[in-house]
Amino acid sequence: MKRKLLLILILIISFGIFGCEKENIEERNIKQVIKQYFDLKYSSYVEGEYKDISHLLDMTIEGNQYEVEFLKYEIDAMNYQNDYSFEKYPLNIYFNKIDINKNKAEVYINVEDDGVRGHIYPAFLGWGQHEIIMIKKEGKWIIQNDLYTDLLGHKSDKKLKDVEDLRRDYKKRLDKFNE
């Protein structure tokens, strides 16, 4: 009787440990995707060259299409103006809460600079809290939505047509400059 009870207790503890380990693996994968997302966006600004973030996003979502197009536009505009650039400084991402429910996760993070006076960061980073909704598609976590407001007051839930308007305006300015 004691052996059966001990065996049942061992099985219960083992399932509990493996269940927690799976959760930790999922959390690690989610954190890795989010860190890569911010690093690629930040590197795009620092290097003045678009770094593809689309593989980290659910591109069926219009807001994510906007995010990709807006980043391309910003890099183009930065290269055209050629009058400013960013150096890469430490970027702090604090994970406040990760709620995983099967193939969907809600992640709350804070993005902060390094606190050193004179270090300039791109406004897109959206200092403060981000609410990131993620889904697991084909075994990989991707960002479905990143809700934040950047330092310039741009909300992350803009529509794709807004970027198209930005590109048309940018082209008009280029054409006028080249006349």
Cβ proximity of 51 and 44 under 8 Å: yes
| The pLDDT of residue 83 | 55
How many domains are there within the chain?
1
| The pLDDT of residue 87 | 76
Question: Residues 5-39: pLDDT tens digits?
Answer: 444 545 455 455 444 555 599 999 999 999 999 99
Taking 50 as the threshold, does the pLDDT of residue 170 lie above it?
yes
Range(s) of the domain holding residue 43: 2-178
CATH of the domain at 62: 3.10.450.50
Q: Note if the pTM is more than 0.85.
A: no
Distance CA 129, CA 95 (A): 10
| The pLDDT of residue 104 | 97
Write a three-state SS string for the chain. CHHHHHHHHHHHHHHHHHHHHHHHHHHHHHHHHHHHHHHHHHHHHHHCCCCCCHHHECCCCHHHHHHHHHHHHHHHHHHHHCCCCCCCCCCEEEEEEEEEECCEEEEEEEEECCCCCCCCCCHHHCCEEEEEEEEEECCEEEEEEEECECCCCCECCCCHHHHHHHHHHHHHHHHHHHC
Q: Could you tell me the pLDDT band of residue 163, with boundaries at 50, 70 and 90? A: low
CB-based contacts of 138, cutoff 8 Å, min separation 6: none
Question: Residues 38-84: pLDDT tens digits?
Answer: 999 988 888 889 999 999 999 998 888 888 888 888 888 887 777 55
